[in-house]
Structures are given as C-alpha cells and as structure tokens.
Amino acid sequence: MRPPFKTVGIVGTGAMGRGIAQIAAQAGSQVRLFDANAVAAEKALESICAQWDKLVEKGRMDTVLATESKSRLLLAPAMEDLADCDLVIEAIVELLAVKKSLFSSLETVVSSQTVLASNTSSLSITAIAAGLKHPERFAGFHFFNPVPLMKVVEVIAGLRTDAGTCHALTEYARRMGHTPVLAQDTPGFIVNHAGRAYGTEALRIVSEGIADFATIDRILKDQVGFKLGPFELMDLTALDVSHPVMESVYRQYYEEPRYRPSVITAQRLAGGLLGRKTGEGFYRYVDGAAQVAEEVAAPAVAEMPPVWVSPRSARRSELLQLLKNLGAHIETGASPSMTALTLVAPLGFDITTVAVVERLDPARTVGIDMLIDDESTKRRVLATNPATRVDMRDAAHALFARDGKAVSVIRDSGGFVTQRVVAAIVNIASDICQQGICSPKDLEIAVNLGLGYPLGPLAMGNLYGPTNILEVLFNMQTVYGDPRYRPSPWLRRRGAIGLSLLHQEE
C-alpha cells in the first residue's frame, strides 16, 4: 500500500530526527536525511541501519522489511535535495528564529503542496508559521523520545493550519504505527501540559516539609499505582530537561499559579544534581541503582488506646470495618473518651483545622487518607498535626501496620500526598478540556501513551469521584488561600452534579 507521503524529508538528524526517519522508512516512505552538520546526517544513517540490524538480530523485525527500509533511507547533502518531498519534518534546535528561517528557506525549495511539520515541543506552531507563504500546509507533529517506542504523536493545528493538513498527518501517523492525537496550538500542547501537576505538586509538598522525596515516591506508587514516583521520574528525565519545561509552560501561560515551578528544581539544576545521568539527583546512584534509605519500621506499642472515629470522616464505614479487622477497640460515643486515639479522615482539609472545627483534642488527633478505598491500595498514609503526641502517633502507626500493610506518617497539610497530587492532575486535565485544547478522549490517550500514568487523568478523577476531587480542591483552597487549587469550571460543574469527567457535551 502506498503511504500517504511517498517522499519524506527529515531536517535535523539528532535524537528525534533519527527516530522519526526510522519509522517513516519502515512505513514505506522514501526518506531523505538533511542536517546543517553533514557528519551528523551520516552518523544518523549509520545508527538507524545499526538499529534495524539489532532489531533483526533480536527477532523483532523481519529481514525483508529491514533491507527494504535501508534502501529507502538516503542522505540529502543539500536542502535542494528535498525538492520532491511531499512532507518535510523538522527536528532541529529549539529556537524560534532558527526554525522560522529554516521553513522560509524550505518554502523556496519544495512545492506549494508539500506539507511542512515541526517536531517542536515548546514553541508555538502559529509563531513558527508566521511569515510563511503557505501557512495552511504547516502543522506541529510532536513525537516523544524514543520515537519508535513512544507510540503517540501530537498533531497540532496553528491558527492558519488547514484541517486537511492535520488529517494527512493523522493518517500518516497511523501508517507509522503511532496513535495520533489532535491538539490546539497552546503551551505544552497536551502531554507536556497535562504532565505539569505530578512533579510540581510533589515538589510543593517537599517544600512545605510535609514528607521527603522517597516517602512521596513510595506513597504515589503504592497508593495510586504510578510506575515511578515523581522524584524517580525527574531523576530519569533529568532536571536540565524537566525544569525548563516547567518554566516554559508557566511563563507562556502568563504565570498561571497551577503551573508554578519550584525553587527546589531551580537550585538543584544550578548545582548540577540533574538525575541519573550525573550520578546524583533526588537520589544518589551507585552502579545505576538508586540509594534509598530503609523505611522506618512500625513502632512497638505495649498498650493500644481505644480508637474514636470522627463522624465526618471520608469512607467512615470502611474505616470502621478496617479498624475492626485490625482488632482495634472502637469507641462509639458521640465524642472521644479522655484516652482515645482520635481519628479523622478529611478530604482537602488539614488535620489541625479538622481538630479545631470538630473541637477535638489535637494532641490525640491523627488523620488518615481515605480518598482511595483501603483494599485497592498497598499503603496507608497517616498525618499528624503540630500538637499530636508521640505516643498517639506511634499507636496509630502500629495499629494500621498490624496486618503487614505499609504505613507512612507525614506532617500535616491540606490534603494528604495522594489527594494533593491526584487533585492537581485531575484539575489541570479538566482545564485542558475546558480550554478545548483536545477532546477528553485524546487527552486520555495522550497521557496514557505519553506519560505512562496508571490511568488517564479523567479516568483517575472518575475512579476517585469527581465530587471528592472537587471537595479536596475547595478545601485546599481554603487551607492555603492559593489560587493554584482553584477548581477548573469543567471539573466544578461535573463534580457538582456527579457527572463523569469523560462525558461529552452534545
């Protein structure tokens, strides 16, 4: 079958250009490699061919396809050699002026029908296209690294892009074995925008002294099912990549508080603690393995106090059943006795506020995160308030560890770690829908394939309850008085009437 684009030019043959060239040739297109540095293009050709040899060796690629793909890959020593291309994909340095100048030159070489695309991850498609003679045939075609393995590509329409241009790129993406998602030209497009919450909210929790890096990573992996904690992830991507993305999206959105970066990453970047690649990031690496301190074991408590549970706790009946299963002596009075460990399970509110509002003795009050059903998590998270007595904290820790489940004890904050991070993810995703950047369906696909979250952000919101997420945000806004926790209208409306976040309005 003839590919939608018979001859494809790749300009810029670094990490991204190589990957795109590889899958374009595999899809049946003739591919021309052009780079300002001729040696780079030659090296790219060699490395792509070596990659195919490796795939054949491992039995992951058919020998015939590898030989045919190799025959379709050619060097283009001069830009003029791209004249007969019906698609040119640019993957050069991320500088607006350089990209604009490249496309102006390309327009003098290729036909007016040739589709032109940029793999930019942070520049505006509309801005790159400004000044082109035919901006209607120009679009964003944003792949992820490593291209052959990251099976999603964002097709981005600038203000003057023709729908037919996006359609052709979408078809071609499928032909390459990738899943295309359509995005409007906005800062970070879909994936780099939706990914803003995970790291930034985790950093904010650290900056408040609530929990350390390793504790936050453990909580988010064990409670929500993320493959990597936010700090492990930042160590993998490296701060010289992830911190500038945080800054870029924040600045481009005119300092929208939801995207506010952290001084922690700015400082660590300046200090060269970039992550795995420099041997030290949030963790230190010895022979490629992160050095993580042992978790604190549950304390031994000789005499367990009786337990009283606030009637306003989230999932109260489940919490009572859990306590029963753990063999706790549960008090049933309207208020706790003088010796009772007092448990509260708020959504969004901090333990201090709950103790004060419910007139509980803060010294005996401990919080537990009940956003997620206990049975579906591998870890329980408790929070103290500044007045919590050590014996009460230890009693709660020992009690909830009785069945061998992991327990983390953190300091007081509005929303526990999971509530804060999940609510921030769902809120930013909701705002992407509110702005019409993409369809809810494409958002879920883009995040699943581009970020590898255990669930799409809207599905995550549905699982934990849009109304609960909304409650977390409203209450956190009260605790912090910070506009970053302001719920998106998209979430506010759906949460208020208990509607699925994936619901498409007619």
Query: Which residues are near ligand NAI by CB under 6 A?
Result: 11-17, 35-37, 40, 91-94, 98, 102, 119-121, 143-145
Min dist CB 39 to ligand NAI, Å, is 9
Which residues have CB under 8 Å from 35's CB, separation 6+?
11, 12, 13, 14, 17, 41, 44
For ligand NAI, the nearest residue by Cβ is 14
Min dist CB 146 to ligand NAI, Å, is 8
Q: For residue 154, indicate whether it is catalytic.
A: yes
Min dist CB 185 to ligand NAI, Å, is 15
Q: Tell me whether residue 106 or residue 501 sits nearer to ligand NAI (CB atom).
A: 106
Across 470-494, b (16+ Cβ under 10 Å) vs e yields bbbbbbbbebbeeebbbbbebbbbb
Q: For residue 142, indicate whether it is catalytic.
A: yes
Q: Tell me whether residue 12 or residue 348 sits nearer to ligand NAI (CB atom).
A: 12
Given the residues 121, 248, 385, 413, select the one marked as catalytic.
121
Q: For residue 397, indicate whether it is catalytic.
A: no
Cα–Cα distance, 400 to 397 (Å, whole number): 6
Work out the widest C-alpha separation in the chain, in whole angstroms: 85
Given the residues 154, 201, 331, 471, select the one marked as catalytic.
154
- 30-34/115-118 β-pairing: unpaired
3-state helix, strand, coil in the chain (%, to 5): 50, 15, 40
Q: For residue 325, indicate whether it is catalytic.
A: no
Q: Tell me whether residue 224 or residue 239 sits nearer to ligand NAI (CB atom).
A: 239
Q: Tell me whether residue 121 or residue 124 sits nearer to ligand NAI (CB atom).
A: 121
Min dist CB 15 to ligand NAI, Å, is 4
Which residues have CB under 8 Å from 136's CB, separation 6+?
160, 161, 162, 165
Residue 342 bridge partners (DSSP): 308, 365
Q: Tell me whether residue 125 or residue 360 sits nearer to ligand NAI (CB atom).
A: 125
Which residues have CB under 8 Å from 42's CB, separation 6+?
75
Cα–Cα distance, 230 to 322 (Å, whole number): 29
Query: What's the chain's Rg over C-alpha atoms?
Result: 26
Given the residues 29, 192, 313, 385, select the one marked as catalytic.
192
Q: Tell me whether residue 114 or residue 120 sits nearer to ligand NAI (CB atom).
A: 120
Min dist CB 94 to ligand NAI, Å, is 4
Cα–Cα distance, 381 to 375 (Å, whole number): 13
Cα–Cα distance, 85 to 14 (Å, whole number): 20
Min dist CB 253 to ligand NAI, Å, is 18
Given the residues 142, 193, 243, 397, select the one marked as catalytic.
142
Active site residues per annotation? 121, 142, 154, 192
